Amino acid sequence: MEKSLAVGTQGELFEEWLELRNGCLCCSVKDNGVKAIENLMKKKGKFDYILLETTGLADPGPVASIFWMDKELGSDVFLDGIVTVIDAKHGTQKLNEKPEEGYFSSTVRQVALGDFIILNKKDLVTPPDLESVYKTIRSINQCAEVEVTEYCRVSLDKILDLKAYDGLQSSRLKQISEETEKLNSFASSHLDQSVGTISLQLPTPLDKKSLEDFLQKILWEDREDSAMDNRHEIWRLKGLVLLTQEGAPPVPTMIQGVNDTYELTALNPNEVPQDAEPLSSRIVLIGRNLKENEFTKILTSTIK
C-alpha cells in the first residue's frame, strides 16, 4: 500500500508517495511509518512541520503511539499533538452511536484523543444543536481546547506546535481537574456516558516505584480481570507529579500516556511555573468506564 504526502518547497506543492510495506499507516508497525518519513526527510531535507491527515475512520491511538514512542529511538520525528475535526451537523449522531461489542466508533476515539478539536460547519446547525454537540465533545474530552469554526478557519498558531506530549503546565492541569470535577457533577449530555474524563489527586510527594505500580495496575493489570463490558480502558493520560528522590528535593515529573503506553519525564524545576500554591500531584484520564472510586481504591492499596 502506498500513501501520498503533499510536500512543499518554496511555496510549490507536490505529491510524494511513501511505500508502506506492511499495510496502511495506522495498522503497520511503528518503524514503517516513521522510517518512510525519515527517508523522505533524507531526500528532501528536514521539514518545518509534518501534518499527517488520516482517513475519517482512523483510530488516532495507534498512529500516535508510532510517532510518540519513536522519540526514544533518537528520531527527528516526534508527535506534537492530535487535531480532530468534528462536523457540527453529523457529529452528534456519530458520537452517540452505540458501541458494537464494546468497541466505540472512531469518532468517539478521535474526540477522546484530540488535543485540539475543531468543531466545524457551525453555519449548518442551529445554536441549540451546536451547543449540544459541543457539550457532547466536552463530556468526552475535557482536556482539549475546542474551537467552533466555519470552513475550518482557525489560526495556524493554535494547531501547530501544540507540544501536547512534552509540555504540561501545572496551572493548566489544575484548571482541567477543576473543570472535570465541575462537569462530572452534572449529568453529561452524550447518551453513552461510559466515555469521559476524570481527574485524580495523588499524594504529594510520592516515590517513583509507587507511582509506577499504580500506573501499571490501572493501565495493564486490573482491567484484564474485569468483564469486557464493564472494564475500564484508559485511552489518554496526562499528569504532573512531585517525585521524591534520595538526598535531593522532590522532582516535578510529567506523565503522558496513550492507550497502554506511558512515559515519565523529569522536568527542570525552573521550567515549572510557580503557582500560588505548592505543586500538587494529579493526573487526568480519558477513556471508558472510568470510575473515580475504583481508582481511589487501587491508589490506596498501591501507594502506602
Ligand X SMILES: Nc1nc2c(ncn2[C@@H]2O[C@H](COP(=O)(O)OP(=O)(O)OP(=O)(O)O)[C@@H](O)[C@H]2O)c(=O)[nH]1
User: Which parts of this chain interact with ligand X (CB under 6 A)?
Assistant: 56, 87, 120-121, 123-124, 150-151
Minimum gap (Å) between residue 89 Cβ and ligand X: 9
Minimum gap (Å) between residue 182 Cβ and ligand X: 30
Minimum gap (Å) between residue 153 Cβ and ligand X: 8
Beta strands in the chain (DSSP E): 2-9, 12-19, 83-87, 116-120, 145-148, 195-202, 233-245, 248-258, 261-266, 281-288
Minimum gap (Å) between residue 88 Cβ and ligand X: 8
Quote the cell numbers at residue 28.
Answer: 503497520
Count CB atoms within 10 A of the CB of residue 138. Answer: 20
Nearer to ligand X, 133 or 202 (CB): 133
Angle at 137 between CA 132 and CA 143, to 5 degrees: 140
Nearer to ligand X, 145 or 150 (CB): 150
Nearer to ligand X, 150 or 275 (CB): 150
Residues with Cβ within 8 Å of residue 3, at least 6 apart in sequence: 17, 18, 20, 24, 25, 36
Grid look-up 510495506 returns 21
Nearer to ligand X, 37 or 119 (CB): 119
Integer Rg of the chain from CA: 20
Nearer to ligand X, 4 or 39 (CB): 4
Minimum gap (Å) between residue 125 Cβ and ligand X: 10
